[in-house]
A and B are shown apart, each in its own frame.
Chain A
Amino acid sequence: MAATKTRTSSFSRNFSTPATTSTPGLKYGPNSTLFVSSGIPDLDKILGGGFALGSLVMVMEDTEAPHHMLLLRNFMSQGLVHNQPLLYASPSRDPRTFLGTLPNPASSKDDKSHNRDTEQEKALRIAWQYKKYFGEHQQNSDGLRDGKQLEYCNDFDLRKPLERHFLTGQLIDCISLQDCANLTTFRDRCSTFLSQLPRYDGKISCAGRIAIQSFCAPQCEFSSMEWEMLSLIRSLKSMVRSSNAVAVITFPSSVVSPSFSKRCQHLADTLLSVKAIPDEDKELATLLTGYQDMVGLLNIHKVARLNTQVPAILEATTFSMKLRKRRLLVLECINQAPVDGSSGTSYATSGSCSSSSKTGTLDF
Chain B
Amino acid sequence: MDRTSNLVDEAMAMESGGVVLIEDCVETNGAFILHHLIKRHLSPPQSSLLIFVAFAQPFSHYDRILRKMGCNLVVQRDNKRLLFLDMLMLECPDGDGSKTCEVGLRALFGKIQKAVEVGALAESKGNITIMIDDISLMEVAAHGSSNHVLDFLQYCHTLTTQFGCSLVALNHKDVYLSRNEATLILQLEHLADVVIKVEPLATGLATDVHGQVTVINKGRRIEDDERFGRSMNKLKNFHFRVKDNIVDYFYPGSRT
Contacts and interface: CB of A to CB of B under 8 A. Distances in A.
A231 interface: yes
A262 B242 contact: no
Interface in B194-223: 205-207, 210
Interface size class of B (residues with CB under 8 A): 35 or more
A309 B141 contact: no
A355 interface: no
Interface in A292-327: 301-302, 305-311, 313-314, 317
B143 A235 contact: no
Nearest to B208: A313
B26 A313 contact: no
B35 A182 contact: no
Given A31-B64, A230-B140, A311-B210, A182 B175 contact: no
A263 B172 CA distance: 9
Given A309-B35, A310-B243, A241 B88 contact: yes
Contacts of A302: 26
Contact of B94 (A32, A228, A235, A305): A228
A306 B174 contact: no
B36 to A, nearest CB: 9
Interface in A245-284: 258-259, 262-263, 265-267, 271
Contacts of A92: none
Interface in B42-97: 58, 60-61, 64-65, 68, 88-89, 91, 94
Contacts of A305: 29
B94 A313 contact: no
Contacts of B143: 227-228, 231
A259 B58 contact: no
A263 B137 CA distance: 9
B136 to A, nearest CB: 6
B4 interface: no
A311 B242 contact: yes
A311 B61 CA distance: 14
Interface stretch (B112-120, B155-163, B176-184, B224-232): B176-184
Contacts of A310: 242-244
Given A227-B140, A310-B243, A301 B26 contact: yes
A313 B177 CA distance: 26
A228 B97 CA distance: 11
A272 to B, nearest CB: 13
B31 to A, nearest CB: 6
A223 interface: no
Interface in A303-358: 305-311, 313-314, 317
A226 B140 CA distance: 10
Interface in A13-48: 31-32
Contact of A309 (B31, B140, B175): B31
Contacts of A267: 137
A262 B177 contact: yes
Contacts of B242: 309-311
A238 interface: yes
Contacts of A140: none
A259 B64 CA distance: 31
A309 B174 contact: no
B37 to A, nearest CB: 13
A234 interface: yes
Nearest to A316: B205
Pick from A238, A241, A271, A309 the residue with the most CB of B within 10 Å.
Answer: A309
A238 B207 contact: no
Contacts of A306: 61
B250 interface: no
A337 B243 CA distance: 36
A262 B175 contact: yes
Among B28, B136, B176, B243, residue most surrounded by chain A Cβ atoms (within 10 Å): B136
B94 A182 contact: yes
A176 interface: no
Contacts of B137: 234, 267
Contacts of B65: 307-309
B224 to A, nearest CB: 38
Contacts of A141: none
Interface in A224-244: 226-228, 230-231, 234-235, 238, 241-242
A289 interface: no
B109 interface: no
29 contacts: A227-B144, A228-B143, A230-B140, A231-B91, A231-B140, A231-B141, A231-B143, A234-B141, A235-B91, A238-B88, A238-B89, A241-B58, A241-B88, A259-B175, A262-B174, A262-B175, A262-B177, A263-B172, A263-B175, A301-B26, A302-B26, A305-B29, A307-B60, A308-B65, A309-B35, A309-B242, A310-B243, A311-B28, A311-B242
Interface of A: 31-32, 182, 184, 226-228, 230-231, 234-235, 238, 241-242, 258-259, 262-263, 265-267, 271, 301-302, 305-311, 313-314, 317
Given A227-B140, A234-B140, 7 more contacts: A32-B64, A227-B143, A263-B172, A301-B27, A309-B65, A309-B242, A309-B247
